[in-house]
Structure 1
Amino acid sequence: MQEHSIKAIRGNHEDKFLRYYYHEQRFLTQGIANPMQLSAKEQEIYKTLDKEDFVFLQSLPLFLQFNALTVIHGGILPSTNLAKLDKKSAAQVMRVRYLDVHGRFVALDDADPHIHFWWSELYDGRYRYVVYGHQPFLYPRVDRWSFGIDTGAVYGNRLTAIVFADAKTPFCYELFYVPSQTYAKKSKPWIVSDL
């Protein structure tokens, strides 16, 4: 990745493997049982990872900033201060989708699109334009201050990239799409066509 100047951020899936790894290490050193469980597929993936992989995952930042652009996995809550992310805030910026009327995080299982807000609807632009993933959409979601580019590649829809002509003024951009195979199935409806 360094050879090609590729940058990455940590999302909820990378974070899950890291947390599982640390619980496993704690079990080995202190005998404290791992409270987490991985699916059979996740166990297969976990077994292919070595210590170097976990060092890499740990090194991934939770967000990147380029002039007028912020890249983050999930989103930004009204209370988020990217300069001072505590453990709870870090977990939320990787996982947020919906907010309540007061701008507080709503867990996915508790979310109701009829009474809760998509985080970008309440986002005030204080970190300029945000490019995010985490929630698959049928097509990229473009809001006043954000671009949601997860279009469900893992579920067989397509992979989307956004390319900006200039990170200082991200008004001129181009979207690129690549068709995808299905790598995973979701038990709940995964794609959001319109929020």
Structure 2
Amino acid sequence: MRINTYIKDRGPFDIIGDIHGCYKELSILLKELGYHKKNGSYMHPKGRKLISLGDLNDRGPENLKTINLIINMVENNNALYVYGNHCNKFYRYLLGRKVQITHGLEGTVKEYNELTWEEKENFKNKYINFYEKQSHYWILDEGDLIVVHGGIKQSLVGRDDPRTHKFCLYGDITGRKDEEGHPIRRDWAKEYTGRAMIVYGHTPILKPIWINNTLDIDLGCVFGGKLGALCYPEKKIITVDSTRPEDEAQLIRMKSKYQELTKSN
């Protein structure tokens, strides 16, 4: 299904990184950003709109609750959403396709299987219908802002094809892995020269850092880092601390990635 990636919305926005089932931190961050809870959803009294950069589920403790909240906010015109690779994998699972239940998906599937048959059918239909109306990236504010999960090269902006779709979900992957088995990615942001601000997630980093008008806002909440949001157009960053146990190995990788980018920036 092809989606028009342009949305005639100029903001203001609050762009939030990977949530991964951290519903508690999401609720705290929304309150910090000034959103008010109403009828099980959140809205901003000044008309600001949340943008989720995907990966709502997997690894965290409240995956379905997080998904339901974002769906509710989008359907009530209080949020926008681009799907991430974890969202895509769960979508394929619900379609009945064969996927590996790893990398945190097992927790999401466990929550799903604890529902009654009727609840499972309702949730499955709701999620599939919602997902199929969304995009792998959105172009906003008359082309001045692009939001995406894994990143997007300048040459791919405006395109909707399998290569662009894969890049938006996974970043610029090389097909190789490091000694710990993690995918090795090219740093596309270093070569970006476009006028549009690109805000993305996917690769957890210790602190947000601007590179050529791009910003990675995934601060590794599910690994014990932070959940962060970029306020647009103000370019103000708001974070809340994770309540999750610290994953020492992941936090070391996040620090290393930050130091690498700081040196080269």
If the TM-score is normalised by the length of the shorter chain, which range does it land in?
Answer: 0.7 to 0.9
What residue is the counterpart of 1:16 in the other structure? 89
Q: Are 1:9 and 1:63, in contact at CA under 8 Å, matched by a contact in 2?
A: yes
TM-score (norm 1): 0.73
C-alpha displacement at 1:18, in angstroms? 1.5
Q: 1:63-105 CA distances to partner (integer Å, 9 max, x unpaired)?
A: 122221111101113542x333212320221111x4xxxxxx4
Q: Are 1:9 and 1:64, in contact at CA under 8 Å, matched by a contact in 2?
A: yes
Gaps of 5+ in 1: 25-33, 99-104, 167-171
Give the match's secondary structure for 2:76: helix
Aligned with residue 146 of structure 1, among 210, 214, 226: 214
Give the match's secondary structure for 2:190: helix
Aligned with residue 84 of structure 1, among 159, 164, 183: 159
Q: Distance in 1 between matches of 2:110 and 2:198?
A: 33
Aligned with residue 163 of structure 1, among 223, 228, 231: 231
TM-score (norm 2): 0.55
What residue is the counterpart of 1:60 in the other structure? 134
Q: Distance in 2 between matches of 1:149 and 1:88?
A: 23
RMSD: 2.8
What residue is the counterpart of 2:99 in the other structure? 36
Q: 1:149-176 CA distances to partner (integer Å, 9 max, x unpaired)?
A: 1100111111111112x3xxxxx41110
Give the match's secondary structure for 2:130: helix
Q: Distance in 2 between matches of 1:175 and 1:6?
A: 18
Number of corresponding residues: 167
Structure 1 consecutive aligned stretches of length 4 or more whose deviation exceeds 6 Å: none
What residue is the counterpart of 1:75 in the other structure? 151
Q: Are 2:226 and 2:242, in contact at CA under 8 Å, matched by a contact in 1?
A: yes
Name the structure, 1 or 2, with higher relative contact order (CA <8 Å, separation 6+): 2
Note if 1:130 corresponds to 2:203.
no
Structure with greater proportional helix content? 2
Q: 1:114-160 CA distances to partner (integer Å, 9 max, x unpaired)?
A: x974110112216x110001011000121122011110011111111
